[in-house]
Structure 1
C-alpha cells in the first residue's frame, strides 16, 4: 500500500478534525473538557426542587430571549447529565431564570463553576459599588456595562444596603474629570448625535420592548465609552459626555430589566449612577434611582432594598432641580411601592402629591405623563386589593396612552385583566387579556411575556 506524505500543516488540520469536534448550534457546544460525562449535581438539585423537567427549563430560557437565540428542548439534558456549559448569553439566562423561580440569586459559580470549563462571560468588578467614585472608575463601569461579553458572569444580585449606599453617592460633589487627552477631537455635534441616537432607541424600547434595542444600545454605550477613553475634551464637554453615557447606561439597564436580566440591569444602573455623579446631573441620578426602585418593587432583585426609602431620599436631595412632571413620575413610583408593601394610607397620600405635582407642570400637553401616573397609581391600588379605584385609573391610562407607549399599555392591560379575574368577571378578564395579546404580538419584552404567562396560569388554576 502506498502512503502519500502529508505536509505539516495538513497533519495539523487532520489532528484538529479528530480532537476538536464542531460545536453544535443552540449555544451548548464546548471543548473536550465539557464533553466529559460529569453530572451537574447543583443544576439537578435545583430542577428537582422546582419540579421542572429539562424541557421546562428550555421553555423558560427561550421565553426571555430573541427567537434567533432559542435553544433546543434537549440542551438542558446535556447541561444536567453531561456537565456541558452553555455559551453566553444562555449561561447567564439560566442563572437568572432559576434565581427568579427559586426566589434567591443563583450564581454563575454555583451553577457552572465546578464544571471545569474555565470560561464564560466576563466577570465584572465585585467592587463596583465600593470602588472610589471617580471619573476613572465611572469610565470602567460604563465600559463594562456596554461590553459584548455581558450578561455578566458575577450574577449575585446586590444587597439593598449596598445599593442604598451607591444611591447616596451620586448626590455628593462631582469629582474632577480626568482624561480627555486622547487623539480623537470631540465636538458638541458628536454629543448631539449621541443624544439623538439615545432618544430614538428609547422610543423604540417603549413601543416594542427592551429586547429590540438592547444590543444596539450596548454598542452605542461602548462607543461613548471609547470616546471618553480616547477623546480630546475639556472639563465642560467631558461632563456632558459623561451625562450622555449615563443616559445610555440607564437605557441599557432598563432594557435588561425589561428582558428579565436583573443582575445585568443593576450593574448598568450603577454605571449610570457613577456617570451621573461625574457629570453633576442630579436629575439623571434621581431617574436612575427611580429605575432601581421599580425593579425592587416588582421582583426580588432588591434583596432587602426599600424602594420607598431610597427613592424618597433621592427626591429630597434633588427637589430644587426637578421639574414638576419629573417629580410627579417619581412620586407615582413611590405610591406604587407603598401599595406593594400594603401601606394604603401612605399610598393614597403620595398619589395625591403626585397628581398635584403634575398639575403644576405648565406648557405642553401632559396627557402621556398623566396616563403614566394613572397607571402607576392604579397598579398600587391593585396591590392593595382596591379594585374599583384600580380599574378606574388603569382604564383611563390604557385609553390615553399613545401607540408609541405600546409596551406600557400592554402591561397595564394585563393588570386590568387580572383585576377582572380576581373579582370573578371572567368575560371582562378574557377580553382585556386578548387586547394585551394583540398589542404584544411580536413585542420583545420579557416583562409583558411573563405577565401574560402568570395571568394564564392563574386563570387555569382558578
Structure 2
C-alpha cells in the first residue's frame, strides 16, 4: 500500500455514504471476495477514504468489483483511484486491448490473462467509438497465420471433442444455475487450453480448431463474469474470445462475442451501449450471409434492446422487425423465438410501452425451458417491474415471488440485483 497523497478520497466517501456502509463493512465485503491469505484489516478502508492511500493489487480492483456489484453500475479504477496516486495498483491488461496487433501471439496473451483467477485488470474504456470502429475493421480482416504448435506435447483431435463436451456441460449449468457456479472451473479450463496452445504440437487446421475452443471458453468465462457483476474481468475475457475467434477464422463465432459485448454495454453506466451496437452492426455486415436464422435473430434482438435502452423507438422497432423476419417460417426455433420475445419485450419496457412489453415477456417466460432458469427468472423480474410501474401491485408481487422461488440458490448477481432493484422501487413507491 502506498501513501501517495494525504487527501480524502471524496469519490470513495461518496459511494460509501450512498450505500450506508462503514469502512469496516467495506473491508468485510472485500474479504468475502478474496482468498483467506489476502484478507485486509478492518482499518485499511479508513486509510483509503481519509488519507488518500491506494491499495495494491488485487485489493484495488476487488474494491471496484465489490462496489460495482452492489451499486449495479460499473465503478471503474480511474473513477475510484485515478486521482489519488496515478499508475499504482492494478496493471492494465493492455493499453490497446482492442487495437494491439491482431495476431496469434497477442491472442495467446489475452487468453492467458483471461484465464488467470482474479487477475487484476482495470475496467477499460472498450466502448469508445474510434477504437471499436478500428477493432471491427481488424476483426473482419483475414485471419492471421497460426504461430506456435512446435511444442513437445502432442495434441490429438479427440482432445478437441473432450473440450467441446466440457464447454457444453458448463454452458448448460450456467444457464440453469448462474455464472457463479461455473466461473472458476471455466477459467481453469481456459488456462488449460492456453497451455495446450503454448506447449502443444499441432498443424494449422488443428491449431485453428484449438483457437475456436479457446474462443468459446473465453466467451463463457466473460458471460459468467458478467452474470456475477465482474465487469472488468468480463471485458478482458470477451476481447480474448474475439481475438481467438479471429485467429480461428470463424466469423460466426466472432459475431457472437461482439454480441456479448453489446449486452454488457447496454447495461453498463454511461449510456455507451450504442457504440458497441455500431461494432455489432459492422460485424453483421462482415459475416453477411454466413449466420443461421437463429444467430442473426439473436444479434438483432440485442441491437433492438440496446436501442430501447436509449429511448430510440424507431431504431429498436426496425431491428426487432428484422429479427422476427429472420425466424419467420423457419421450423424448430421455439426457444430462439422465446429469447427474441424476451429481448424485444425488454426494449418496449425501456420505451414505456407496457402492454406490448408484457405480452412479449409473459410469452417468453411461458415458453423458455426449465434448463433456462436464469433467463426465465430475469424476465419474470422485468415483467413484475412492468406491473409495478402501471400500478398493478398484486400481479407485480406475485410475479416477483415466482422469480424469487425460481432463483433460490442461483449463483447470479444479475438476478439478485434485479430483485433488489425491484424491492427498492416497490418500497419507494
Q: TM-score, normalised by structure 2?
A: 0.88
Q: Is 1:377 the counterpart of 2:377 in the alignment?
A: no
Q: 1:86 Cα shift?
A: 6.3
What does the per-residue CA deviation read over 1:176-215, in whole Å, with 9 as the maximum and x for residues that have no partner? 1111000100111111111111111111111111111111
Q: 1:361 Cα shift?
A: 3.3
In structure 2, relative to structure 1, the CA distance for the partners of 1:314 and 1:196 (3 Å cut) is: same
Aligned to 1:221: 190
The match for 2:94 among 125, 146, 150 is 125
User: Hey, which bits of structure 1, 4+ residues long, moved more than 6 A?
Assistant: 36-40, 63-75, 82-88, 115-118
The match for 1:453 among 397, 406, 420 is 420
What does the per-residue CA deviation read over 1:259-316, in whole Å, with 9 as the maximum and x for residues that have no partner? 1111221111111111111110000110011001111111227747524322222112
Aligned to 2:309: 340
In structure 2, relative to structure 1, the CA distance for the partners of 1:271 and 1:371 (3 Å cut) is: same
Distance 2:215 2:193 in 1: 9
Distance 2:258 2:271 in 1: 12
Q: Tell me, yes or no, if the aligned pair for 1:95 and 1:111 is still in contact at 8 Å.
A: no
| Higher Cα radius of gyration | 1
Aligned to 1:321: 290
Q: Tell me, yes or no, if the aligned pair for 1:58 and 1:75 is still in contact at 8 Å.
A: no
Q: 1:122 Cα shift?
A: 5.2
Residue-pair matches, total: 424
Q: 1:366 Cα shift?
A: 2.0
Q: 1:89 Cα shift?
A: 5.7
Q: 1:379 Cα shift?
A: 0.4
What does the per-residue CA deviation read over 1:139-170, in whole Å, with 9 as the maximum and x for residues that have no partner? 11111111124142x33432422234223322
Q: 1:41 Cα shift?
A: 2.3
Distance 1:66 1:432 in 2: 31
What does the per-residue CA deviation read over 1:73-126, in whole Å, with 9 as the maximum and x for residues that have no partner? 8774465358787686653232245468597753169528968997x6554222
In structure 2, relative to structure 1, the CA distance for the partners of 1:140 and 1:67 (3 Å cut) is: closer
Superposition map of 1:200-211 within 5 A: 200-211=169-180
**Structure 1 stretches of 5 or more lacking a match?**
1-32
Q: Tell me, yes or no, if the aligned pair for 1:133 and 1:175 is still in contact at 8 Å.
A: yes
Q: 1:323 Cα shift?
A: 0.6
The match for 2:203 among 215, 234, 258 is 234
What does the per-residue CA deviation read over 1:387-410, in whole Å, with 9 as the maximum and x for residues that have no partner? 111111111111111111111111
Q: Tell me, yes or no, if the aligned pair for 1:66 and 1:444 is still in contact at 8 Å.
A: no
What does the per-residue CA deviation read over 1:226-266, in whole Å, with 9 as the maximum and x for residues that have no partner? 00000000000001100110111111111111111112211
Aligned to 1:91: 60
Q: Tell me, yes or no, if the aligned pair for 1:37 and 1:83 is still in contact at 8 Å.
A: yes
Aligned to 2:123: 155
In structure 2, relative to structure 1, the CA distance for the partners of 1:102 and 1:67 (3 Å cut) is: closer
Aligned to 1:430: 397
Q: TM-score, normalised by structure 1?
A: 0.82
Q: CA RMSD in A?
A: 3.2
The match for 1:354 among 323, 333, 337 is 323
Distance 1:336 1:107 in 2: 28
Q: Tell me, yes or no, if the aligned pair for 2:173 and 2:182 is still in contact at 8 Å.
A: yes
